[in-house]
Chains A and B, each alone.
Chain A
């Protein structure tokens, strides 16, 4: 098999802070084939954005990074050390949740795109502006010839995000990383933006990493989905399998906790108890153990390694959901009334509490 376009191996990121060292990423592994759309889902603080920023070389200097990031044969961290500024923004680009992260409020939209083209690709001023109009048209901005002369504040949030997408695509990247690109917009706008990204990705054969906390977005749009928890990818597989036959108890619990449109009103939800762990001095145990309904004694003694079929369906858990081992663990906990971590589970596992 050909090398994947992107390989992330054992990525670890630590932030020294006054309260202690934050272990933001603890051995993240990612493989991405060319043209693929990978979704990364997880709660606030799980490490989605740190992963993206590491790829984009946007971490603060204080960050301590270990591990490998290989993109189309290049060691990305070496490129960073060599100061290769025409890699980011050209080969690999990023779209953020807030379009104003990328836009300059006092510059016309067209100029900003043109600047990208001039800086990275050495286009003349005139060429660059013409291309900008063309790009704005490609991202579905109505009346692009007029929009190039508008300032960001003259546009709605959805249109601004389109300008940012145009800018990210200007230099024909082969990987686009989008970090919660539609979290701040309404559902009708979200649908249009995601449709646009789908179309552009197909037309250009571009790969994409879509970071989202919205499981529905990942399910609807991605080929593969990785679930992050406490700085690790705890489960990854093709989208269909992840949502229909999940293995990690966290994935399983997340899917049960969200209200679904087809359920009748007042369906009792099954929340995940507790909250995500501190990332300072985490204990040597499964990070999900304190909240996990499956947890057994072994979960408190070691960090589970990734298992399953590499590149197909991988998960890091000693007692995976939807397996005999998982069912046994759950039955034992229900019988005991609590998990090995002391989480009461009577009346919880059955649903209606």
Chain B
């Protein structure tokens, strides 16, 4: 199988979700398929925040949606507390679904415009049943207070709130089901900078208060670093580099991670500006390059990069893994 390797998987009893060799393809007609996610393995420990960062089309959202079965999976497994979510069906899936909740980028359009926000927040309970026994008006009010929306506005509808407030309502709706895992897909990308920080702090507070495990997807490298314990950098359906957030940004090894860190408007001090000089266009995911998928744009590419797909390997004994034939050497710290 064309996996980039399972090295980053941890043998740790606290691991809550393990994704192994995940592959997702979407047919696009005439027999062609988009290779959206092509063999990714990672895990998330309880209480941890895992960030997924990468440019548009790299497969971030597909990974997230695969976990909660919003798209079909070609192969691979998603283990959650001993269940393979990729295989579960019917009642068994229904029982587990509330444990994994998702919040989306576009806060306003992800809320039903015709419902009062009180009902928006409790709508998951209506769909997924009330097995947690948490359904009550008190609970809704508590959640509204927790996310910073005055309960007296419970009868208003989503369009009467700003984008930031709608995102808070979305968070309350997700929390209503007492989830264990919250998947946040670009939750602050549509918000103004001054409001982004409010929502990021709120997510952090909710994580502490309700003991959540977070998957946080963003294209913004600074935001991802701020919220995450660990980070995966994705490119064209593959993971390039995985590791502890601070370590990864301090000693980025994969040329693509370095390109990203050098391309942001205020480049990271740990990379050279020339690391941002990547050539050409993103290849089509319908026909991704053989070997390393980054080979068409990488300054370090040699023959082997066109022939063999690099496999995830660990940096010493650190929580840091990369998939590259020519990792950039960095002075070993301190």
Contact = CB atoms under 8 A, between A and B. Distances in A.
Interface of A: 43-44, 142, 156, 158-159, 186-188, 190-191, 194, 213-217, 219-221, 253-254, 257-273, 275-276, 353
A270 B196 CA distance: 10
Give the one of A44, A214, A216 with max B CB within 10 A. Answer: A44
B333 to A, nearest CB: 14
List the 7 shortest-distance A-B pairs measured between CB atoms, nearest first.
Answer: A216-B265, A271-B197, A259-B226, A186-B55, A272-B194, A269-B197, A265-B245
Given A213-B193, A269-B201, 7 more contacts: A188-B260, A191-B262, A216-B264, A259-B197, A259-B222, A266-B226, A271-B200
A269 B226 contact: yes
A272 B164 contact: no
A293 B222 CA distance: 25
26 contacts: A44-B192, A187-B55, A187-B263, A187-B264, A188-B55, A194-B265, A216-B266, A217-B265, A219-B266, A220-B266, A254-B193, A257-B194, A258-B222, A259-B197, A259-B200, A259-B225, A261-B261, A263-B225, A264-B246, A265-B226, A265-B229, A266-B229, A269-B201, A271-B194, A272-B195, A275-B164
Interface stretch (B11-19, B115-123, B175-183, B275-283): B275-283
Nearest to B260: A187
Nearest to A46: B192
A12 to B, nearest CB: 24
A191 B193 contact: no
A348 to B, nearest CB: 11
Contacts of A194: 265
Contacts of B56: 186
Nearest to A258: B193
B221 interface: yes
Given A186-B56, A258-B222, A267-B226, A272 B278 contact: no
A188 B281 contact: no
A259 B223 contact: yes
Given A265-B246, A272-B197, A213 B55 contact: no
Contacts of B225: 259, 261, 263, 265
B222 A261 contact: yes
Contact of A258 (B197, B261, B276, B280): B197
Contact of B192 (A159, A191, A213, A273): A213
Nearest to B191: A44
Contacts of A187: 55, 219, 221, 260, 263-265
B193 A43 contact: yes
Interface in B187-217: 192-198, 200-201, 204
Contacts of A269: 197, 200-201, 226
B160 to A, nearest CB: 13
Interface residues of B, number: 41
A227 B219 CA distance: 25
B228 interface: yes
Contacts of A272: 194-195, 197-198
Contacts of A267: 226
Nearest to B195: A275
B287 to A, nearest CB: 15
Contacts of B55: 186-188
Contacts of B140: none
A186 B57 CA distance: 10
B68 interface: no
A190 B261 CA distance: 13
Given A188-B278, A220-B265, A258-B197, A263 B192 contact: no
A271 B265 contact: no
A265 B225 CA distance: 5
B32 to A, nearest CB: 17
Contacts of B260: 187-188
A263 B204 CA distance: 16
Given A253-B194, A267-B226, A188 B276 contact: yes
Contacts of B249: 261
Contacts of B227: 265-266
Contacts of B276: 188, 191
A304 B290 CA distance: 62
Nearest to A159: B281
A219 B265 contact: yes
B162 interface: yes
Contacts of B223: 259
A186 to B, nearest CB: 4
B194 A254 contact: yes
B259 interface: yes
